[in-house]
Amino acid sequence: MALPLGSIVAALGGELHGDATLEIRGLAPLEAAEPDQLSFLSNPKYRQQLDSSRAACVIVGPASKDQALARGACIVADDPYLYFARLTQLWKREHSRPAGPAIHPSAVVDPEAEIAAGVRIGPHCVVERGARIGRDTVLKARVVVSEDCVIGDRCVLHPGVVIGADGFGFAPHAGAWEKIEQLGAVRIGNDVDIGANTCIDRGALADTVIEDGVKLDNLIQVGHNCRIGRHTAIAGCVGIAGSANIGAHCTIGGAAMILGHLTLADRVNVSAGSFVARSILKPGLYTGIFPIDDNAAWEKNAATLKQLHGLRERLKALEKKQ
Amino acid sequence: MALPLGSIVAALGGELHGDATLEIRGLAPLEAAEPDQLSFLSNPKYRQQLDSSRAACVIVGPASKDQALARGACIVADDPYLYFARLTQLWKREHSRPAGPAIHPSAVVDPEAEIAAGVRIGPHCVVERGARIGRDTVLKARVVVSEDCVIGDRCVLHPGVVIGADGFGFAPHAGAWEKIEQLGAVRIGNDVDIGANTCIDRGALADTVIEDGVKLDNLIQVGHNCRIGRHTAIAGCVGIAGSANIGAHCTIGGAAMILGHLTLADRVNVSAGSFVARSILKPGLYTGIFPIDDNAAWEKNAATLKQLHGLRERLKALEKKQ
Amino acid sequence: MALPLGSIVAALGGELHGDATLEIRGLAPLEAAEPDQLSFLSNPKYRQQLDSSRAACVIVGPASKDQALARGACIVADDPYLYFARLTQLWKREHSRPAGPAIHPSAVVDPEAEIAAGVRIGPHCVVERGARIGRDTVLKARVVVSEDCVIGDRCVLHPGVVIGADGFGFAPHAGAWEKIEQLGAVRIGNDVDIGANTCIDRGALADTVIEDGVKLDNLIQVGHNCRIGRHTAIAGCVGIAGSANIGAHCTIGGAAMILGHLTLADRVNVSAGSFVARSILKPGLYTGIFPIDDNAAWEKNAATLKQLHGLRERLKALEKKQ
């Protein structure tokens, strides 16, 4: 598996300085690259690694061109990280093995499901009645798309994803719980990626909605009737309770938890591990994490935290005495 | 798909004010309801939405009857939310499409498993040797019920549920871990709902027990030898470590974490995102969440938190000087 | 199902005091053991339970021998908990029912996957092209091992595990996200256990690596390019972001979250529920948990926490005045 530098630049653009016939046999980070591999520098923080890298060629931005030339071949691109992303796509296309059947024979696809052209459905998938899968979408192994749910074009659903399980809805009655049947579905836009074992529940009455370009990592829970706005990216282990309304272009860090029935404006960034218990109406970065410490120090501080309000009162009293 | 108001009231009771022949074509929240849809008012907080709703008819409690009559048709019921829950059930029954086979041909059901009457087992399920599935229980797609586990009557297990994987038990030995085989099983009562990709581990010696009427949301982990008491409801992404003993009629908010070998009394409510590190023996609402803030404010407060015990000491010293 | 005491000691060693022909019909904790069951005392904290236990025989350490003899039969072993672990293994071996086929007919195993001798692959598993499964490894039901991933010898992967889904890698571009194809794989060592519905993502360029003897519980997320060192044990619901480098012999408590691109030294112990946002280079126990409290007390303290930095400033000001 090899690609000459010239054919990379022919496909992806950029300004090549070096031998176009040089064969590239892999992609690697600067510090790990072998002499037949291509690497990239996107973060100026790692500039020092450039000089010592053994890479055959390095993708750099215009500002690093001189430094890169001093060490050998390079491709100059406006956005080296984006160039690298597209290079991984090219690499995968060039080296992919012949694909299996469009719908794996072990998949259970209801005859009343609508499957568009170019769709691939992997082993042990289940696509139920009335579901619709858009053009060129890929369902990897063991994906479930339940009744009447709609997936857009060019989506990728990783193994174990469950789209359209019942939302968690029960009315209390005489000490027990009466099921609220979930009569809505899930509607997913185009170019959405959904990570392994992530679950998106169907709506109670209206639909749960995931807009175009949303990226969801693994083991995420999206409750019924949530809406996640365009191009929002959500890292692994996040939980989003029912009817949360999350804006476009947000980022939610891993294991963050978002309560239900609240709103996040567009371009809100939530730090990993934070618990969002109220609406956030202004773009910006929001955080709520207990800082980790050695256990002995934590124990003291955590114990004091339980008296914090009292401490404030004592401080106030002292201030008054002054 | 339509139901006349009269047939709804005939099935579910309630006091109809309006035209019994009016055809209802859907259920919707007050603010979204179309003129051929039925809605409900359960929370007096949303009373204002009643006047402006376009719904064909509204389910209300006795206290809102006059307000509802002023705008048009209504059904008066003692508990409008419960009425609504039962209406969703009626709606689903009336509009459900003909069911497939009781046991999907792709399911792998051991000949030594006991399957009661009325059970439905979806595609790609696995029911192992010695497992027992009670009457009218539904296993949606891709559910695993391992050896010797018992599921009661009228349960619903959503896609990806794993019942009876090994509990996490290892004895340390010479720097490595020696497996403790998990010889118990899982026993699940009647009317239990289990959400997508939730896992309930088998016990080490005795069984893990989920009592009647428990409701579990998606992506929950229940460790070996836990007991969850009757009618307790647990939201998504909760983790419950081994041998936790959770009472009846509890509610556990999403992404809460409960340590092992502790007890929660009946009627304990744990807020979402809280970490339960000790037994809670008195009913009530318990919380432990770091409040989210803009990142700059959080950074300052979190840094100070690491000195909190010291601050208390300094405050004490000041107080002594007074 | 019964084993005489004599055959247990013949298989596992230890010093038997009592009738070697006594038939043991089960294993149970001290307080629950029936008169035909075998129990163990590993933690001196539970010594009192020894006297009142109805167990037929008890496994104890040398220090508890006299107390145990006073109540009846016992097996004295250097490490009673380890002895118990091996006894569960013996018990399982002796009582296991005949196994089904090595590769279940419903499993989808690519002809270009390499399956070593003694491997068992359960129903509805998927093993993709180029994957390699080592000797005597067990894939329970519904496990996915994606292209080119490598699993060592004697591993156990529980139902719903997903090995080698794409890591979460996207480059921002013009308000949307450009996919970074994940060209690495996952390499898992020997004697690794992986719990139900746990996901380990493939690397972006290099591989994600799980070393020998690692034990992972259920519903864990391991991001791309992580490395988890030998014999580290990780409890349920933990999230580990990409490129985290976790040492050997660590323990990570349930629902802890570990940020990406950081290092945990060998023998670091992270308490359950803690958020690790920085490298930890010294062995020890680390914690960061908001202590749970009744909701009213929490509300007061949490509100004050948002002013904590200000309180410190006020305290400083007071101190200056002294």
CA nearest neighbour of C168 among A238, A247, B160: A238
In contact, C258 and A272? CB cutoff 8 Å: no
Question: Per the CB < 8 Å rule, is C88 touching B204?
Answer: yes
Chain A residues within an 8 Å CB radius of B298: 286-289
B278/B258 Cα distance (integer angstroms): 8
C28/C95 Cα distance (integer angstroms): 16
User: Touching check for A199 and chain B: CB below 8 Å?
Assistant: yes
pLDDT at C57: 97
Beta carbons within 10 angstroms of residue C316's beta carbon: 12
Question: Is A108-225 a CATH 3.40.50.10420 domain?
Answer: no
Question: Per the CB < 8 Å rule, is C170 touching A311?
Answer: no
- Lowest average pLDDT, out of A247-251, B101-105, C99-103, C230-234, goes to C99-103
pLDDT at A101: 83
In contact, C172 and C190? CB cutoff 8 Å: no
C47/C41 Cα distance (integer angstroms): 7
B56/B35 Cα distance (integer angstroms): 5
- Mean pLDDT computed over every residue of chain B: 96
3-state secondary structure chain B: CCEEHHHHHHHHCCEEECCCCCEECEECCHHHCCCCEEEECCCHHHHHHHHHCCCCEEEECHHHHHHHHHHCEEEECCCHHHHHHHHHHHHHHHHCCCCCCCECCCCEECCCCEECCCCEECCCCEECCCCEECCCCEECCCCEECCCCEECCCCEECCCCEEEECCCCEEEECCEEEECCCCCCEEECCCCEECCCCEEECCCCCCEEECCCCEECCCCEECCCCEECCCCEECCCCEECCCCEECCCCEECCCCEECCCCEECCCEEECCCCEECCCECCCEEEECCCCCEEHHHHHHHHHHHCCHHHHHHHHHHHHHHC
CA nearest neighbour of B315 among C304, C306, B307, B290: B307
Minimum distance, in Å, between the CA of residue A279 and any CA atom of chain C: 17
Pair type for strands C114-115 and C132-133: parallel
Q: CB-side exposure of C46: number of CA atoms within 13 Å?
A: 15
Select the residue from C149, C177, C218 to test the A interface by mutation, using most A Cβ atoms within 10 A. Answer: C177
Chain B residues within an 8 Å CB radius of C302: 287, 289-291
Which residue is closest to C219 within chain B, CA to CA? B221
User: Touching check for C21 and chain B: CB below 8 Å?
Assistant: no
Superfamily in which the B108-286 domain is placed by CATH: Hexapeptide repeat proteins (2.160.10.10)
3-state secondary structure A109-136: ECCCCEECCCCEECCCCEECCCCEECCC
Residue spans in chain C of domains classed CATH 2.160.10.10: 118-286
So which residues of C are the catalytic ones? 224
Chain C residues within an 8 Å CB radius of A219: 197, 199, 219, 221, 239
Question: Per the CB < 8 Å rule, is C233 touching B170?
Answer: yes
In contact, C253 and C235? CB cutoff 8 Å: yes
Q: How many Å separate Cα A172 from the centre of its chain?
A: 36
Superfamily in which the B3-95 domain is placed by CATH: MurE/MurF, N-terminal domain (3.40.1390.10)
List the B73-76 sheet strands across, edge first.
B15-17, B73-76, B57-60, B37-40, B26-27
A117/B73 Cα distance (integer angstroms): 47
pLDDT for B128 beyond 90: yes
Minimum distance, in Å, between the CA of residue A103 and any CA atom of chain C: 14
Minimum distance, in Å, between the CA of residue C9 and any CA atom of chain A: 41
Q: Which of residues 93-112 of C touch A (CB under 8 A)?
A: 106, 108
Query: Can you spell out the DSSP letters for A85-114?
Result: HHHHHHHHHHHPPPP--SB-TT-EE-TTSE
Q: Of A160, A175, A314, which has the smallest distance from its Cβ to B160's Cβ?
A: A160
Question: Per the CB < 8 Å rule, is C92 touching B181?
Answer: yes
Binned at pLDDT 50, 70 and 90, residue A322 comes out as confident
Catalytic residue, chosen from B173, B224, B231, B249, is: B224
pLDDT at C129: 96
B258 strand-pairing partners: B240, B276
Residue spans in chain C of domains classed CATH 3.40.1390.10: 3-95
Which residue is closest to A196 within chain B, CA to CA? B197
**Angle value at C-alpha C201, between C195 and C207, nearest 5 degrees:** 115
pLDDT for A184 beyond 80: yes
CA nearest neighbour of C190 among C162, C212, C175: C212
User: Touching check for A237 and chain C: CB below 8 Å?
Assistant: yes
Q: CB-side exposure of C137: number of CA atoms within 13 Å?
A: 25
What residues contact residue A199 under an 8 Å CB cut-off, 6+ apart? A161, A162, A163, A165, A220, A221, A222, B160, B195, B196, B197, B218, B219, B236
In terms of Cβ atoms closer than 10 Å to its own Cβ (0-12, 13-18, 19+), residue B175 is exposed
C151 strand-pairing partners: C133, C188
Chain B residues within an 8 Å CB radius of C322: 318, 321
Select the residue from A180, A182, A271 to test the B interface by mutation, using most B Cβ atoms within 10 A. Answer: A180
Q: Of A213, A218, A318, which has the smallest distance from its Cβ to C201's Cβ?
A: A218
pLDDT at C322: 76
Amino acid at B63: A
Binned at pLDDT 50, 70 and 90, residue C64 comes out as very high
Chain B residues within an 8 Å CB radius of A241: 235-236, 254, 272
- Mean pLDDT computed over every residue of chain C: 96
In contact, B241 and B200? CB cutoff 8 Å: no
User: Touching check for C201 and chain A: CB below 8 Å?
Assistant: yes
Question: Per the CB < 8 Å rule, is A193 touching C179?
Answer: yes
pLDDT at B321: 86
pLDDT at B99: 77
Question: Per the CB < 8 Å rule, is C241 touching A272?
Answer: yes
- Lowest average pLDDT, out of A89-103, A115-129, A156-170, C170-184, goes to A89-103
Chain C residues within an 8 Å CB radius of A193: 166, 170, 179
What residues contact residue C66 under an 8 Å CB cut-off, 6+ apart? none
pLDDT at B195: 98
Q: Which of residues 40-79 of C touch B (CB under 8 A)?
A: 79
pLDDT at C241: 98
Chain B residues within an 8 Å CB radius of C228: none
Percent of chain B scored above 70 by pLDDT?
100
User: Touching check for A80 and chain C: CB below 8 Å?
Assistant: no
Select the residue from A292, A306, A309, A319 to test the C interface by mutation, using most C Cβ atoms within 10 A. Answer: A292
Q: How many Å separate Cα C92 from the centre of its chain?
A: 20
ipTM: 0.96
Binned at pLDDT 50, 70 and 90, residue B98 comes out as confident
C61/C43 Cα distance (integer angstroms): 10
DSSP A45: G
Chain B residues within an 8 Å CB radius of A315: 315
Q: Of C129, C162, C284, which has the smallest distance from its Cβ to A97's Cβ?
A: C129
The tens digit of pLDDT for each residue in A292-321 reads 999 999 999 999 999 999 999 999 999 998
Taking one residue from A and the other from B, the number of pairs with CB-CB distance under 8 angstroms is 219
Which residue is closest to B303 within chain C, CA to CA? C309
Binding partners of B (≥3 Cβ pairs within 8 A):
A, C
C67/C60 Cα distance (integer angstroms): 9
Question: Per the CB < 8 Å rule, is A173 touching B79?
Answer: yes
Binned at pLDDT 50, 70 and 90, residue C115 comes out as very high
pLDDT at A1: 77
What residues contact residue C108 under an 8 Å CB cut-off, 6+ apart? A104, A106, A123, A124, A141, C125, C126, C127
User: Touching check for C170 and chain B: CB below 8 Å?
Assistant: no
- Mean pLDDT computed over every residue of chain A: 96
User: Touching check for B171 and chain A: CB below 8 Å?
Assistant: no
Pair type for strands C293-294 and B284-287: antiparallel
The fold of C118-286 is UDP N-Acetylglucosamine Acyltransferase; domain 1 (2.160.10)
Minimum distance, in Å, between the CA of residue C81 and any CA atom of chain A: 27
In contact, C203 and A109? CB cutoff 8 Å: no
A271-275: list long-range contacts, CB under 8 Å, 24+ apart. Answer: A271/B295, A272/A235, A272/C241, A272/C257, A272/C259, A272/C275, A272/C277, A273/C257, A273/C275, A273/C277, A274/B290, A274/B292, A275/B255, A275/B272, A275/B273, A275/B289, A275/B290, A275/B292
pLDDT at B186: 98
Indicate if the alpha-carbon torsion angle A68, A69, A74, A77 is positive or negative: positive
In contact, C23 and C36? CB cutoff 8 Å: yes
The tens digit of pLDDT for each residue in B28-64 reads 999 999 999 999 999 888 899 999 999 999 999 999 9
C203/C220 Cα distance (integer angstroms): 17
The tens digit of pLDDT for each residue in C149-182 reads 999 999 999 999 999 999 999 999 999 999 999 9
In contact, C121 and C160? CB cutoff 8 Å: no
The tens digit of pLDDT for each residue in A126-139 reads 999 999 999 999 99
Q: Of B129, B183, B305, which has the smallest distance from its Cβ to C308's Cβ?
A: B305
Percent of chain A scored above 70 by pLDDT?
100
DSSP A149: -
In contact, A153 and A134? CB cutoff 8 Å: yes
Question: Per the CB < 8 Å rule, is A307 touching B303?
Answer: no
C270/C256 Cα distance (integer angstroms): 7
Largest CA distance in chain C: 82
Alpha-carbon separation of residue B130 from A248, B138, B168, C142, C143 (angstroms): 50, 18, 22, 19, 22
